[in-house]
């Protein structure tokens, strides 16, 4: 009988409990004012404020000063020395020439050239 009273009391107390509201997490949105302010800051620093990558998130992308210059190794570039994956040209010794990375954007498919040799192709998005 005592167990029955304890169980019944517990159930009655549970039935009287009110649900505590859970605070909603604020939605982070890129408002027009936020985008415009960041775009201006980015442009003033010499970049382009664009939607980039598969998710299309805004980021400031800067051009490299040596963009498009021929290279045999990433040490010759501000960014990476990248092979033209679509139509690369081989040099007579079997080594490869690439071009210096165009922008700071990490997205796309590319292969790096190190010591005149092409590495594996990598796709980042």
Task: Write down the pTM of the prediction.
Answer: 0.65
pLDDT in tens, 14-71: 566 556 565 565 555 668 888 899 999 999 999 999 999 999 999 999 999 999 999 9
- Using pLDDT thresholds of 50, 70 and 90, give the confidence band for residue 84: confident
Provide DSSP, the chain. Answer: -HHHHHHHHHHHHHHHPPPPPPPPPPPP---HHHHHHHHHHHHHTT-EEEEETTTTEEEEE-B-TTTT-EESSGGGSSS-EEE-SSS--B-TTS-B-EEE-SBS---EEEEEEETTEEEEEEEE-
Report the pLDDT value the prediction gives residue 91, as an integer from 0 to 100.
44
């Amino acid at each position: 009988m005592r167990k029955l009273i304890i169980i019944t009391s517990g159930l009655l107390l549970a039935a009287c409990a009110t649900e505590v509201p859970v605070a909603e997490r604020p939605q982070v949105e890129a408002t027009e004012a936020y985008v415009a302010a960041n775009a201006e800051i980015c442009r003033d620093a010499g970049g382009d404020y664009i939607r980039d990558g598969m998710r299309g998130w805004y980021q400031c992308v800067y051009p490299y000063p040596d963009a498009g210059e021929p290279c045999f190794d990433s040490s010759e570039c501000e960014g990476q020395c990248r092979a033209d994956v679509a139509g690369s040209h081989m040099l007579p010794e079997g080594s490869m020439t690439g071009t210096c990375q165009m922008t700071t954007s990490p997205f796309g498919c590319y292969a790096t050239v190190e010591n005149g040799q092409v590495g594996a192709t990598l796709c980042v998005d």
